[in-house]
Amino acid sequence: MQQAKHIPVMLSEAINALAIRDNGIYVDATAGAGGHCSAILDQLGDKGRLLAIDRDPDAVAGVRNRFAEDSRIEVFHSPFSRIAEVVASQGLTGKINGILVDLGVSSMQLDQPGRGFSFMRSGELDMRMDSAHGMTLSQWLSTIDEYLLVRVLREYGEERHARRIAAAILEQHAQRPLETTAELAELVARAMPRHDHKKHPATRTFQALRIALNDELGELQRFLLQVIGLLADGGRLVVLSFHSLEDRIVKRFIQQHAKLTDELPLDLPVINAERLAPLKRVRVSKKPSRDEVASNPRSRSVIMRVAERTSAPIPQQDLDQLFGIEELTHRVEEQKRLGGAKARGGKKSTSKPAAKQSFQGLPNPQSGIQPSKLADC
């Protein structure tokens, strides 16, 4: 099957926002097909450097291959929540002039049925961005309880029929584990009382499961906590996000770290303002042009946010204080840890809190599937 080419979104806007210096040092934390990497390299001089990161081994192989002749780029197989380790391995902490992150999945991931992201093309129920680590979706569904699944569908997918869908999934999975994306998509469609005809009925469910399985919000939060310490003075952070859950995290992070620079009177000498807050907000057009949306519909929901590192010291940062206690994110990760152990015959999951026990969940099915390797990255 012919694979769709991934078209980078807000390409010129994102590259302009990075304000690339001739011999600067940049990180593309979501290399994908290398579209943004290529545009960064086009503007970098001979002594410039680009560290490219992706958690998907196929993306890493593709980008290594694409830029095999270019010594300015180095490609790392890593989740971006480990960006500080990647940068430190090159001795570049505090020296980075710009970090770009283009969240979500690539067209290659969506188009390959075997990756299990698409309800349009049936494939194995996998859905891991990093196909070398962690449980597949089919394996995870064998360990999750109904209470948590309902919350995932509601909170990560804003799915109004979360209870019906969760019950249908777990009932079916207990009888015979769901193995393909088509089976899951059909089951979701059957469980919904009515459909919005503009969208596939499984759209929200697939989004929610993908976010939870790949810990996408936790990844983003841990990544943001590290970036201030990596950037040089004047270094830029550019984030492209695709749904409100991600954008809310980015917006809050920038607001909190740019608070003082945003609030100070404009006539205050910049040097003083910059001593007070570690970031300053860079005002840019957040949305793609109409032409881009017309030619690449995937770009319609993107939101770009940009911030610049000041010379203010790095603040003491705490995840829960910064983002509010992301209780569901923590709970899902704990469930995966315990659920994986349970699938291997270890400890039981305790993910259903006593106060919520009134929720009538179906018994948790045991498929006896061995997780290939628990999420260790």
Nearest to residue 134, comparing CAs of 81, 79, 179? Answer: 79
Look up residue 114 and give its amino acid: G
Site residues for ligand SAM, 236-275, by CB under 6 A, read: none
Q: How is 235-302 classified by DSSP, letter by letter?
A: EEEEEEE-SHHHHHHHHHHHHHHHHHHHHS-TTS-HHHHHHH-SEEEE----S--HHHHHH-GGGGG-
At its nearest, how many Å lie between ligand SAM and the CB of residue 51?
12
Q: Which of 25, 27, 30, 307 binds ligand SAM (CB under 6 A)?
A: 30
Given a contact cutoff of 8 angstroms between Cβ atoms, the answer to whether 97 and 232 are in contact is yes
Nearest-Å Rg of the Cα atoms of the chain is 21
Which range in 32-40, 159-167, 279-287, 320-328 contacts ligand SAM by CB under 6 A?
32-40
H or E segment and range at residue 315: none
Tokens of 55: 């958690």
Q: Which one-letter DSSP state was computed for residue 129?
A: S
CB-nearer residue toward ligand SAM: 129 or 202: 129
Site string for ligand SAM, 337-376 (x = CB under 6 A): ----------------------------------------
Question: Is residue 36 close enough to count as binding ligand SAM by CB under 6 A?
Answer: yes
C-alpha to C-alpha distance for 26 and 41, rounded to whole angstroms = 10
Site residues for ligand SAM, 81-110, by CB under 6 A, read: 81, 102, 104-106
At its nearest, how many Å lie between ligand SAM and the CB of residue 129?
4
Site string for ligand SAM, 126-145 (x = CB under 6 A): ---x----------------
Q: Which of 24, 62, 79, 365 binds ligand SAM (CB under 6 A)?
A: 79
At its nearest, how many Å lie between ligand SAM and the CB of residue 161?
27
H or E segment and range at residue 118: none
Q: Which of 6, 66, 257, 331 binds ligand SAM (CB under 6 A)?
A: 6
Q: Which of 20, 40, 51, 53 binds ligand SAM (CB under 6 A)?
A: 53
- Identify any residues that bridge with 239 across adjacent strands, giving them in sequence order: 101, 305
Which range in 41-49, 51-59, 161-169, 274-282 contacts ligand SAM by CB under 6 A?
51-59
Which range in 49-57, 115-123, 146-154, 320-328 contacts ligand SAM by CB under 6 A?
49-57
At its nearest, how many Å lie between ligand SAM and the CB of residue 102?
4
At its nearest, how many Å lie between ligand SAM and the CB of residue 215?
8
Tokens of 305: 């946010």
H helices of the chain, where?
11-18, 35-43, 57-66, 83-89, 107-111, 137-141, 146-157, 162-175, 181-191, 203-213, 216-230, 244-263, 270-276, 290-295, 319-323, 327-343
Question: Is residue 77 close enough to count as binding ligand SAM by CB under 6 A?
Answer: no
Which range in 55-63, 162-170, 180-188, 299-307 contacts ligand SAM by CB under 6 A?
55-63
Nearest to residue 335, comparing CAs of 364, 367, 370, 372? Answer: 364
Mapped onto helix, strand or coil, the DSSP state of residue 202 is: coil
> For 335, phi and psi rounded to 5 degrees?
-60, -40
Question: Is residue 32 close enough to count as binding ligand SAM by CB under 6 A?
Answer: yes
At its nearest, how many Å lie between ligand SAM and the CB of residue 169?
24
Site residues for ligand SAM, 197-216, by CB under 6 A, read: none
Q: What are the residues whose beta carbons fall under 8 Å from the beta carbon of 95, sequence distance 6 or more?
A: 25, 232
> Where do contacts with ligand SAM occur on this chain (CB under 6 A)?
6, 8, 30, 32-36, 53-56, 59, 79-81, 102, 104-106, 129, 219
